[in-house]
Structure 1
Amino acid sequence: MKSILKLIKRFIVTMLFSLVLLVFLNLFLLILISYKQAANHGAWSTADQVASALTGKDDGTYELSAQGEEALSRTKAWAVLVDNETGSILWNSSNLPEGIPTQYSAASIATAVRGYINDYPVASSGYGDDLLLLGFPKKSYWKLMYNTFDYDLIKNMPQTILLFLSCNLLFIFFVYLIVTSGVLRSVKPVIHGIEALPADRNVYVKEKGLLSDLAVSINKAAEKLRSQDYQLKKKETARANWIAGVSHDIRTPLSMVLGYASQIEENRNVPKRDRNKARIIRQQSLRMKNLVNDLNLASKLEYNVQPLHMDTVNLVPLVRQTAVDFLNLDLEGKFPIEWAAGEDMQNCYVKADKGLLSRAVSNLITNSQVHNPDGCTLFISVGKAGETCQIAVEDNGAGVTDEELERIRKAPHYMVCDRETGNQRHGLGLMLVRQIAEVHGGGMEVSHGERGGFRVVIRLPYGN
């Protein structure tokens, strides 16, 4: 809403600025036009020019110079010289129109000087004691016959102009407010509706006013979003329930397979070849059990139904204990683990769920073991990097190609991908690690290891 008021304010300021600019532009054009007309030899200056170009001779005749003739020709004017004593014409130009009086009284001279002679606008100039009258084409000038102005009006002209401008601006401003108030009343509900669309709220805009069509569209969009949100939640709930159900149903038969396989493996009366087969069955069943557990946990993290037991956790002993647990299970010694952190690294605290972090580290160790069945050395470290703590798990095994690394980084996992594409990833281990890091406000990075293998780094916000 603040942005709308800001927009209206900007419109008002722009309007007022435009009006002021328009006034000054009009004044400038008026001055420019008036200046050009004044510079183009006005009627009175032409009369003075012709009077100065007229010369009297000893024989009582008059002669107009070439400059005077050019002035009359340029303005298409005619001229008469009126005697001061008799009012008769002493001299006239050759282009004197018909019907022009040849005798003038004081009253007719006053009328002529003030206005017109036979509808010809007249300008005058003194020639000694006599009077020179210039008549111009009938539509060349418009003269005010009674051009007298009150002195107070002239004196107060600046204030009067300012008053008129202020009244005009106020009038335009109030008209603008009246017009925009109706628009604003129609805009407000629409803006509120648009702002509410991203939020989880019921949106309804009254379908009336200038923007009723837009209100209808917003209501339809809100209804469609509600329907899509309901269907999406319904689909997510069904998928989560299905995964949880499958995970639950598969545990009993899987436990029986593990139990019988362990009995056969430990029975010395069974041939060694069969005991090896039973061992393989037990190992693969155990792997299947871990995959089912990963699938269930990944589903809970994806739909935010996994409860988090947050506490202050020291990553150093947590990661060390997880590594020791794997060393104890590696009876053949195929996967030795080296602690790469410095001896001075004793504490690195984060706010986290201890069980989930241990699960993430376990998945990284398992990932290296699964992809290097012939064995490899794991390098595990815990350290601080700025405002974060990081757990790094690296191996010197087979590693991955650049294409595989890019696919791990960008290809969506089949569990969270809703598009039919051949570029989906399988394997829940790394996905689960990323999910655990993200629910703790951190992230996961994968890269080529410095020792030729695969490297994964978990970054978590530091906090004690």
Structure 2
Amino acid sequence: QKDYSISQLSDGLTFENGAYILSGGVRDSIVKQYQWAMLLNDDGNVVWSLNLPGDVPLKYTVSDAASFTRWYLNDYPVHVWRRADGLFVLGSEKDGMWKHDIEVPQKVMDNTLIWLPAILILNAIIAILLALLLGLRLFRSLKPLAKGIEDMAEKRPVELSTNGLLGDLADGINRTSAQLAKQEAALAKRDNARTTWIAGVSHDIRTPLSLVMGYASQLEDDSELPQSRREQAGIIRRQSEQIKMLVSDLNLASKLEYSMQPVRKTAVLPAVLLRSVAADFLNNGLDNIYSIDVIVSDNAQSTVVTGDEELLRRAVSNLISNSIRHNPNGCAIKVTLEKGLGNCSLCVSDNGVGFTHEKLDNLNAPKGSAELENHGLGLTIVRQIVKAHGGTTEFRNLPGGGCTVILCLPISNEVLN
């Protein structure tokens, strides 16, 4: 049902056959939009009404009509429409509408086109100033929060003020920082306990293992024993040496993983180091089914890297040992050194069985050292040592069979004789 204007409501009241008739739609609109209605004739008498309250008079003088025309009639807000046959009055419920007359000097109205734009401009300036003020306040509140988040990312303790506009957010950052600190402390405690336990076990195993190796060596060299017994003693000695190396690898891998192994960096000549490692293998009774060749390019003879010589020696030894261990039928091992732009490439390759595709994918994946333990501690330690020296490790299979491991290390500007 649509709303009607006062003139439309007035037009809905017609005089027919000596009586006033109000259409149904107009009646419903009067009841909905107002409360009551009446029609005064020119003599001031009520000649028609609808829902007229009992406290509304039925007779009005000219002064009465003039007083309520724009305001109230007995506290009823009224609206009036002039008709040819009288005055049509619509009334609302008491206290249902506030009516007030506004008077403005003509001079003010004449200057409206001047002061209205000025007021709008002033309001715009005030709005801009408020926006800048609030933005500055918000920026000042966000600045310590951003610093706190940066400190939290760097694992530094954060304690922000919880006062101000973003106090709740600052409190949340403080609580998160405290939780992260607790977690970091718990992880550090666990890692220290693990490293300490591994170091303790390694120390406890070392003494009885040395006794086993000593007695096995004596039995191996005892000419009074049968040859078969001496060979069995030799197997015990070699396996004991293998266990000793595994225990040492486990201890070193644990320390490297948690950055507890000191890296004593000095100037190192990789060419000299490679020849020394190869000589150690050849001089320690390497089986004739294995061969080791060291090839150093001319421009890499005097190349210098800054690193821990013992750790780098360990990495190369582990790669050569890995080739020997996984090729029991023998293989040719080649160790090469080449100089590149700002780095040197140290490669250990063999013509043995190589890596399986699954193992190769896992070795080259960007995983942590702990995830490589299924592939042997030797390769795990190689990756950790190279990483500690700021280098990279790459594992490949060779087209004709065998595999190669490439260690890429940054070179130093030092010159050594």
TM-score (norm 2): 0.67
> Counterpart of 1:449 in structure 2: which amino acid?
L
Does the aligned pair in 1 maintain the 2:359–2:375 contact within 8 Å? no
Q: Distance in 2 between matches of 1:185 and 1:390?
A: 51
Q: Distance in 1 between matches of 2:139 and 2:230?
A: 83
Q: Secondary structure at the match of 1:197?
A: helix
> Counterpart of 1:268 in structure 2: which amino acid?
S
Task: Decide which of 160, 168, 177 is 2:132's aligned counterpart.
Answer: 177
Per the alignment, residue 203 of structure 1 pairs with 158
Structure 1 position 455 matched with structure 2 position 410: no
Does the aligned pair in 2 maintain the 1:369–1:376 contact within 8 Å? yes
Mapping for residues 111-190 of structure 1, pairs under 5 Å = 167-190=122-145
Mapping for residues 245-260 of structure 1, pairs under 5 Å = 245-260=200-215
Per the alignment, residue 129 of structure 1 pairs with none
Mapping for residues 237-248 of structure 1, pairs under 5 Å = 237-248=192-203
Per the alignment, residue 404 of structure 1 pairs with 359
Q: Secondary structure at the match of 1:220?
A: helix
Task: Decide which of 335, 339, 350 is 1:384's aligned counterpart.
Answer: 339
> Counterpart of 1:360 in structure 2: which amino acid?
A
- The structure-2 alpha-carbon separation of the partners of 1:312 and 1:451, relative to structure 1 and needing over 3 Å to count, comes to farther
CA positional deviation for 1:273: 0.6
Task: Decide which of 384, 387, 390 is 1:438's aligned counterpart.
Answer: 387
Q: Secondary structure at the match of 2:370?
A: coil
CA positional deviation for 1:187: 3.1
Does the aligned pair in 2 maintain the 1:443–1:458 contact within 8 Å? yes
Does the aligned pair in 1 maintain the 2:191–2:258 contact within 8 Å? yes
- The structure-2 alpha-carbon separation of the partners of 1:340 and 1:161, relative to structure 1 and needing over 3 Å to count, comes to farther
Q: Secondary structure at the match of 2:331?
A: coil
- The structure-2 alpha-carbon separation of the partners of 1:348 and 1:184, relative to structure 1 and needing over 3 Å to count, comes to closer
Q: Secondary structure at the match of 1:425?
A: helix
Q: Distance in 1 between matches of 2:126 and 2:299?
A: 79
The alignment yields a C-alpha RMSD, in angstroms, of 2.9
Per the alignment, residue 358 of structure 1 pairs with 313
Q: Distance in 1 between matches of 2:299 and 2:132?
A: 72
Q: Deviations over 1:370-419 (max 9, x none)?
A: 00111110011000122210110000011122222113333957x725xx
> Counterpart of 1:437 in structure 2: which amino acid?
V
Per the alignment, residue 274 of structure 1 pairs with 229
Does the aligned pair in 2 maintain the 1:412–1:424 contact within 8 Å? no
Q: Deviations over 1:151-203 (max 9, x none)?
A: xx99xx8xx99977764443222222343344345434433322221123221
Q: Distance in 2 between matches of 1:313 and 1:405?
A: 30
Q: Distance in 1 between matches of 2:363 and 2:147?
A: 42
Per the alignment, residue 179 of structure 2 pairs with 224
- The structure-2 alpha-carbon separation of the partners of 1:222 and 1:291, relative to structure 1 and needing over 3 Å to count, comes to same
Structure 1 position 429 matched with structure 2 position 409: no
Per the alignment, residue 251 of structure 2 pairs with 296
CA positional deviation for 1:211: 2.4
CA positional deviation for 1:345: 4.1
Q: Secondary structure at the match of 1:176?
A: helix
Task: Decide which of 402, 416, 421 is 2:370's aligned counterpart.
Answer: 416
Does the aligned pair in 2 maintain the 1:412–1:425 contact within 8 Å? no
Q: Secondary structure at the match of 1:416?
A: helix
CA positional deviation for 1:342: 3.8
Q: Distance in 1 between matches of 2:122 and 2:355?
A: 80
Q: Distance in 2 between matches of 1:178 and 1:332?
A: 83
Q: Deviations over 1:230-261 (max 9, x none)?
A: 10000000011011101111100000000000
Q: Secondary structure at the match of 1:206?
A: coil
> Counterpart of 1:425 in structure 2: which amino acid?
N
Q: Secondary structure at the match of 1:445?
A: strand
- The structure-2 alpha-carbon separation of the partners of 1:187 and 1:399, relative to structure 1 and needing over 3 Å to count, comes to closer
- The structure-2 alpha-carbon separation of the partners of 1:393 and 1:345, relative to structure 1 and needing over 3 Å to count, comes to same
CA positional deviation for 1:453: 0.4
Does the aligned pair in 2 maintain the 1:395–1:451 contact within 8 Å? no
Q: Deviations over 1:301-353 (max 9, x none)?
A: 11112122211111111111111111122343121112333456422211111
> Counterpart of 1:428 in structure 2: which amino acid?
L
Q: Distance in 1 between matches of 2:239 and 2:312?
A: 24
Per the alignment, residue 308 of structure 1 pairs with 263
Does the aligned pair in 1 maintain the 2:299–2:339 contact within 8 Å? no
Task: Decide which of 243, 260, 275 is 1:320's aligned counterpart.
Answer: 275
Aligned-pair identity in percent equals 42
> Counterpart of 2:370 in structure 1: which amino acid?
V
CA positional deviation for 1:424: 5.9
- The structure-2 alpha-carbon separation of the partners of 1:326 and 1:300, relative to structure 1 and needing over 3 Å to count, comes to same
Q: Distance in 2 between matches of 1:391 and 1:180?
A: 58
Of residues 339-348 and 360-369 in structure 1, the stretch that sits farther from structure 2 once superposed is: 339-348
Q: Distance in 2 between matches of 1:331 and 1:222?
A: 56
Q: Distance in 1 between matches of 2:391 and 2:305?
A: 11
Structure 1 position 339 matched with structure 2 position 294: yes
Does the aligned pair in 2 maintain the 1:411–1:425 contact within 8 Å? no
Structure 2, unpaired ranges of 5+: 1-105
Structure 1, unpaired ranges of 5+: 1-144, 418-422
How many residue pairs get aligned? The number is 308
Q: Secondary structure at the match of 1:207?
A: coil
CA positional deviation for 1:363: 0.5
Q: Distance in 2 between matches of 1:162 and 1:385?
A: 74
- The structure-2 alpha-carbon separation of the partners of 1:345 and 1:178, relative to structure 1 and needing over 3 Å to count, comes to closer
Does the aligned pair in 2 maintain the 1:369–1:375 contact within 8 Å? yes
- The structure-2 alpha-carbon separation of the partners of 1:262 and 1:200, relative to structure 1 and needing over 3 Å to count, comes to same
TM-score (norm 1): 0.61
